[in-house]
Structure 1
């Protein structure tokens, strides 16, 4: 009888260990400014507070220069294939899970593609930021699902020619007989 208890215990232990191994572990990957391009607008992804990324359940990572671009990708491709999403804390630039971050929106906030959303690792940090700025609406990831995701013209900013580069590429494409697909023209 004692032998059967030991065997049952060992089988339970093995089953538990094997089932834990099957759970995918997702982690944010580093940004390489020399090669990483936004999966939506094809702009350079800077290693800064606005960089975001997602990993699909099959292990493919997509990087974006603005949280609005990641939202556009999930809108086109569906959330059901997403394994994890990561955003950066505005203050520390630390990668944090999208679902646990706190967000602040204001149409006057400058972001790479003018969506005006900053992410923070805690609600307290986000509240402190809005208090200091005297503007901004606090939001959760769940509330972002109902956000309008409108871009504010003239509010693109990435320390230099990010917006100008997007505009130049769009004009070049149109001059070459192409269109502005993927350049967020609305």
Structure 2
């Protein structure tokens, strides 16, 4: 009887230890955090343009702790398409209003071809669904999307906007959007704006 009393506390400690190990395993045992943006040195991994410390910046933190930074969500999509997701530890975007980092899969997104983003992909991110819907209502246009929706998004580039930004320099406006939506954007093509996949010719950028 005394022996059983001694065993019970030991079993309790063992079960507690097993529970902690299981919890850590479920969490992956990793705590990926976004790195700060250094405007003086940071450039987009894909388009090589400067990454501004603004609401359009996104980043991937790899499983080995590297930070891959992008000036536009569309550039991050391009990197994932070209490199896969096996090395990704976490993905981060910024809330359009607060500019605080939020995880990619938990954010809400608004897309419209007339939304002005650094590489003219027209997608902006929000922490709260209500904020995204308010933005759509205020602007009078836009489509609400989730990370799952973006997986099937066309990622078309507004080439007219790219041409305009190319003429006036890299665009990181405070408004981040045009007040009036573009009714029709001809010559939109899927893929990254710097490369035409059909003829492999370099197209216009957004940096003078």
TM over 0.5: yes
2: distance between equivalents of 1:145 and 1:183? Answer: 19
Q: Which has the higher helix share?
A: 1
Q: Write the distance in 2 (CA, Å) between the matches of 1:79 and 1:120.
A: 23
> What does the per-residue CA deviation read over 1:97-136, in whole Å, with 9 as the maximum and x for residues that have no partner?
1011110000011111110001011111000000000000
Equivalent-residue separation in structure 1 for 2:18 and 2:42 (angstroms): 40
Q: Select which of 84, 95, 105 maps to 1:99.
A: 105
Q: Which runs of 4+ in 1 moved over 3 A?
A: 15-19
Write out aligned runs for 1:85-96 (5 A): 85-96=91-102
Q: Which runs of 5+ in 1 are unaligned?
A: 164-181
* Partner SS for 2:159: coil
Residue 185 (structure 1) aligned with residue 188 (structure 2): no
> Distance between the aligned counterparts of 2:96 and 2:11, measured in 1?
51
Q: Mark the structure with the bigger radius of gyration.
A: 2
1:82 aligns with 2:88: yes
Distance across 1 between alignment mates of 2:160 and 2:7: 73
Count of aligned pairs between the two proteins: 167
| Equivalences for residues 27-176 of structure 1 within 5 A | 27-156=33-162, 161-162=169-170
Ranges in structure 2 where 5+ consecutive residues have no aligned partner: 172-191, 197-208
State the TM-score, normalized to the length of structure 1.
0.82
> What is the alpha-carbon distance in structure 1 between the residues aligned to residue 95 and residue 74 of structure 2?
16
Please, what TM-score do these two structures have when normalized by structure 2?
Answer: 0.74
CA contact (8 A) 2:43 2:69 kept: yes
State the Cα deviation string for residues 63-111 of structure 1 (Å, max 9, x = none): 0000000001111111232111100001110111101111000001111
For the residue of structure 2 that corresponds to 1:108, the secondary structure is: coil
Deviation at 1:161, TM superposition (A): 2.5
